[in-house]
């Protein structure tokens, strides 16, 4: 059914997804409507499609399936619309004056003769222009929102489309629907393609084929790849679009000419890149080689003597391999130090810091994630930052500005830059880094190639090692202290294709820090996880779940995925109590005492130091873990205590948090 009316009251609106309960006045009646109504305020006129339903408690309602914002149809409704707060500087008084002055001509004046608004008392010439501009921009945006809805593109993406294409967005999309692939995020190519074909676009239309090729290459990057084999790409696009190989070849030729793709022959195979991915790889390789070949102005003479003095001072004696790594750092501007857990990478970093500190050289420590940077600080005693914070690239990255590799990054003031956990650095992050380095700066890349690769595209550390162009020291000896850990020994065994150490296989010098429980039934595994978290580990080693235990799983879905595990663990470890405040967000209940994780970088959110409210700062980053300490319904905000800081989240910001009783393997990387 279809209804037309004006929003008279908003009873409830979810701050995150805009699910709304509102009262609408039609020509016949006032009734309650329920559904998703983003950016709607009192006074808006809507055309709704949906159906009547009967709520067991609240009675007859209209359930919204789709909606369209329409122009107010009476002067009273127009006055309420202008006064509803969407136009800056126009409140009830000014709105009434405008409508009283222009009457039925009000809409015409706002659209075509805005200068006349200055005739109204209280409106200057400049303010008249601002009012009309805001009115028309709001209206154009909503026209685009309605138009894009049939392409499966939501309101937030509609803003991006409007920002990219401006007031002619609808005309440009009608002329070439595939332009949406370039200007909107995470669009459904198949839906856009279906709409385009219905609009009369031919199967072998070049714009269609070019968009299909881009879509295929972008999908590959979601799986971590920077390029795909030409024959694989052609077959995928042929199956996707039902076109001939010749059509694809012709499109590729034109895309190469326009620098949209790049073809590289390597190992007698042809690889196809999106052009800016190739540029990024080429820039990284070129910058690293230039940096490495530059004059070694930071080289320290008589290094052996320096090492002996530090060994004596710290009472830590380095292995020959560790000394070789430090010498490699001294003799080269770019150096890689790689090895598994327990092989002495941290000791090397600490020694390098001591050496350069003695010579008054500035050493900068960094890592790709907040948790890795924090751990680096703890193990070295020196401040370490995330690469995002160090390079100040958060805003650039969040805007998805990957195609522009020429933006300026402030040069790093450093003599030596040490990056830990390099396996998690993707090509874009590496590109930002090399752009910030002066020639003469030493760059030390530290990591374990056997860890999971980066979440983003590229496998930078392993590719650099395999290139054999950068001096690499591989550490393979497990040190005695580390060798007491079954975790470390078993991690090396797994990498070598060997089975776990069994109980009693090695004498009691080993720490009992690794257990393997074999179960093939999902329900029984769930029981084991809950049992371990809710008492068994506490009894065994006084491990407290909220301080010492983290459940990690490969997937989000299913009985053993994060979604169901979080619900089960919350119910067991932090159940509902009348004395605990709760907040329901899209069916997820956040409760005081819950363990939560920040799931996106937020560079602007304010925090205060735990225990010292006078010390404040900004920034909470993807992977940081915290505990909900307070839920304030009056102020509509939640207080979260992270390791060393307190953050207040508005309810509208809760999409940045999710439960962290259980997290995915990839989220564990972000820690």
What mean pLDDT do residues 218-235 have?
Answer: 92
pLDDT 10s digits, 129-142: 888 888 877 777 77
What mean pLDDT do residues 531-556 have?
Answer: 92
- The Cα 669–Cα 671 span in angstroms is 5
Q: Give pLDDT, residue 401.
A: 46
378-385 long-range contacts, CB within 8 A, separation 24+: 379/346, 379/349, 379/350, 380/346, 380/349, 380/350, 380/353, 381/350, 382/353, 384/420
Residue 618 Cα to chain centre, angstroms: 18
Q: Give pLDDT, residue 503.
A: 65
Residues 6+ apart with CB under 8 A from 282: none
Q: Give pLDDT, residue 191.
A: 84
What mean pLDDT do residues 266-289 have?
Answer: 95
Q: Which of 658, 95, 608, 669 is nearest to 371 (CA)?
A: 669
pLDDT 10s digits, 612-660: 777 888 888 778 899 999 999 888 899 999 988 999 998 878 888 999 9
Of the pLDDT bands very low, low, confident and very high (cuts 50, 70, 90), residue 507 is low
**Structure token pair of residue 81:** 């619309």
Q: Give pLDDT, residue 66.
A: 79
pLDDT 10s digits, 548-587: 999 999 999 999 999 999 999 999 999 999 999 999 887 7
What does the DSSP 8-state code read for residue 451? S
Residue 491 has pLDDT above 60, yes or no: yes
- The Cα 391–Cα 412 span in angstroms is 8
Q: Tally the C-alpha atoms within 13 A of residue 214's C-alpha that lie toward its C-beta.
A: 23
- The Cα 412–Cα 568 span in angstroms is 47
Query: Rg of the chain's alpha carbons, rounded to an integer?
Result: 30
Contact between 641 and 624 under an 8 Å Cβ cutoff? The reply is no
Contact between 210 and 251 under an 8 Å Cβ cutoff? The reply is yes
Highest averaged pLDDT of the listed ranges 26-35, 253-262, 503-512: 253-262
- The Cα 619–Cα 596 span in angstroms is 16
**Structure token pair of residue 271:** 């690889």
> For the stretch 179-208, what's the b/e string if a residue is b when 16 or more beta carbons lie within 10 angstroms of its beta carbon?
bbbebbeebebeebbebbeeeebeebbebb
Residues 6+ apart with CB under 8 A from 474: 338, 339
Of the pLDDT bands very low, low, confident and very high (cuts 50, 70, 90), residue 541 is confident
Residue linked to tokens 């408690």: 57
- The Cα 616–Cα 90 span in angstroms is 36
Predicted TM-score (pTM) above 0.85: no
What percentage of the chain reaches a pLDDT higher than 70? 92
- The Cα 446–Cα 372 span in angstroms is 12
In this structure, of 209-223, 303-317, 383-397, 502-516, the range with the lowest mean pLDDT score is: 502-516
Contact between 316 and 271 under an 8 Å Cβ cutoff? The reply is no
Residue 145 has pLDDT above 80, yes or no: no
């Amino acid at each position: 059914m279809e209804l037309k009316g004006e929003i008279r009251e908003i009873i409830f609106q979810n701050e995150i997804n805009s699910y709304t309960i509102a009262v609408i006045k039609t020509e016949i009646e006032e009734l309650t409507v329920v559904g998703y109504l983003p950016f709607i305020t009192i006074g808006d006129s809507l055309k709704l499609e949906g159906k009547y339903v009967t709520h067991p408690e609240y009675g007859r309602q209209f359930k919204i399936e789709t909606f369209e914002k329409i122009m107010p149809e009476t002067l009273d409704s127009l006055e309420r619309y202008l006064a509803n707060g969407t136009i800056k500087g126009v409140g009830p008084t000014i709105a009434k004056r405008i409508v009283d002055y222009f009457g039925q001509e009000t809409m015409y004046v706002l659209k075509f003769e805005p200068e006349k608004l200055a005739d109204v008392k209280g409106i200057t010439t400049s303010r008249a222009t601002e009012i009309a501009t805001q009115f028309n921009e709001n209206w154009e945006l909503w026209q685009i929102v309605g138009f894009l809805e049939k392409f499966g593109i939501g309101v937030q993406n509609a803003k991006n489309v409007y920002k990219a294409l401006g007031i002619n967005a609808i005309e440009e999309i009608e002329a070439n629907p595939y332009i949406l692939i370039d200007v909107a995020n995470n669009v459904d190519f198949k839906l856009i393609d279906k709409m385009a074909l219905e609009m009369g676009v031919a199967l072998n239309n070049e714009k269609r084929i070019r968009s299909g090729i881009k879509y295929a290459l972008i999908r590959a990057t979601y799986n971590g790849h920077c390029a795909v084999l030409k024959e694989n790409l052609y077959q995928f696009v042929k199956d996707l679009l039902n076109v001939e190989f010749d059509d694809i070849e012709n499109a590729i030729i034109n895309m190469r000419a326009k620098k949209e793709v790049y073809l590289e022959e390597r190992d007698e195979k042809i690889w196809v890149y999106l052009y800016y991915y190739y540029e990024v790889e080429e820039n990284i390789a070129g910058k690293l080689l230039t940096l490495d070949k530059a004059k070694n102005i930071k080289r320290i003479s008589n290094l052996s003597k320096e090492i002996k003095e530090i060994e004596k001072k710290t009472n830590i004696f380095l292995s020959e391999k560790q000394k070789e790594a430090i010498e490699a750092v001294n003799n080269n501007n770019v150096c890689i130090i790689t090895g598994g857990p327990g092989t002495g990478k941290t000791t090397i970093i600490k020694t390098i810091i001591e050496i350069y500190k003695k010579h008054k050289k500035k050493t900068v420590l960094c890592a790709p994630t907040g948790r890795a940077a924090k751990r680096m600080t703890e193990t070295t005693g020196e401040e370490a930052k995330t690469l995002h914070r160090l390079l100040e690239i958060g805003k650039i990255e969040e805007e998805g500005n990957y195609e522009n590799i020429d933006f300026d990054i402030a040069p790093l003031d450093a003599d030596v830059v040490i990056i830990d956990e390099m396996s998690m650095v993707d090509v874009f992050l590496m590109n930002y880094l090399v752009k910030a380095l002066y020639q003469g700066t030493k760059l030390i890349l530290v990591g374990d190639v056997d860890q999971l690769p980066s979440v983003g595209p590229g496998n930078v550390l392993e590719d650099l090692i395999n290139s054999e162009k950068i001096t690499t020291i591989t550490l393979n000896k497990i040190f005695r202290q580390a060798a007491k850990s079954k975790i470390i020994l078993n991690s090396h065994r797994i990498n070598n294709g060997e089975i776990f150490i069994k109980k009693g296989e090695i004498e009691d010098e080993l720490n009992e820090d690794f257990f393997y429980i074999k179960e093939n039934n999902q329900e029984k595994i769930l029981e084991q996880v809950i049992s371990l978290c809710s008492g068994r580990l506490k009894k065994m080693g006084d491990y407290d779940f909220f301080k010492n235990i983290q459940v990690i799983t490969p997937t989000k879905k299913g009985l053993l995925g994060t979604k169901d595990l979080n619900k089960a663990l919350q119910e067991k470890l932090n159940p509902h109590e009348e004395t605990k405040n709760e907040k329901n967000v899209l069916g997820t209940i956040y409760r005081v005492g819950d363990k939560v994780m920040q799931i996106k970088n937020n560079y602007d959110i304010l925090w205060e130091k735990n225990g010292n409210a006078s010390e404040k700062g900004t920034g909470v980053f993807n992977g940081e873990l915290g505990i909900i300490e307070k839920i304030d319904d009056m102020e509509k905000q939640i207080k979260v205590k992270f390791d060393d800081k307190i953050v207040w989240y508005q309810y509208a910001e809760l999409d940045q948090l999710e439960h962290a009783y259980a997290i995915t393997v990839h989220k564990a990387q972000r820690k």
